[in-house]
Amino acid sequence: MTLRILVLIVLLYGWAIRPAAAIPAPHPDHVVIVIEENKSYAQIIDNPDAPYINALAKRGTLFTQSYGVTHPSQPNYLALFSGSTHNVNGNACPLELEGDNLAVVLQRKGLDFTSYAESMPTAGFRNCVEKSYYRKHNPVANWKNLAALNQPFQVFPRDFGKLPAVTLVIPDQRNDMHDGSVAHGDAWLAEHIESYAQWAMSHNSLLVVTWDEDDGSADNHVATMFIGPMVKPGRSAQRIDHYNVLRTVEEMFGLSYLGDSARVLSISEVWQGARQEN
């Protein structure tokens, strides 16, 4: 075999096994991000106590290598919302933070954002605890200038077309698996989120369900899933954390990158239209 033929074979073989081509992040009309609490990937996926969540994961992309960024809860929420933990390493409340965040960079693009927190009694509520509502799980509450965007879940729109571009949904501690069981949290999602999940499929919109952190047993390995018409059903082994999720939302809406989201990759190869190069 001549050297020229050998080189040609190597080049053709290398071309044939090239990985799937990454395509740019899609441009959904609405993104709803639901954040659950303190359960590892293994405590959720294939758990018979979470039938709805596991069925939901099969309708979209389940990320099998998704991680929280730290412990405990509060800095993970801050990371997802602002690209930084702000050197917060606990659940101390109240925090008074300044600087850019997801709401601010959306507003600069002429887009809107709202956080809907269950059991929070009034819009712009500043107290740390009210029954099963805990401010440590509601990052928007830590920026005084965002009070109007900090809404109780009871006003979550029934007409999903009225949702902002990006929405955070914060179940209270009874329903986010922090105090309640996996089965209880699973039932809450089925009751309150399934109607949006169905609507999203025919309205160019995306649902993200993730966990802030694990229970300390699994190297912060948590479940994250994307459901929407732009998502390919299946599983992805791309290693991601809250900064990757934030970076992906930023790219979806053409936003500037916040904090540590600038140093990570956007989620890729899970979008409808990604194909093998040949």
pLDDT digits (tens, 9 = 90+) for 235-260: 999 999 999 999 999 999 999 999 99
pLDDT digits (tens, 9 = 90+) for 103-162: 999 999 999 999 999 999 999 999 999 999 999 999 999 999 999 999 999 999 999 999
Give pTM, 2 decimals. Answer: 0.91
pLDDT of residue 273: 76
Cβ atoms of 254 and 109 closer than 8 Å = yes
CA angle 69, 71, 76 (to 5 degrees): 50
Pick the more confident residue, 4 or 69: 69
Q: For the chain, which domains are there?
A: 3-263 (3.40.720.10)
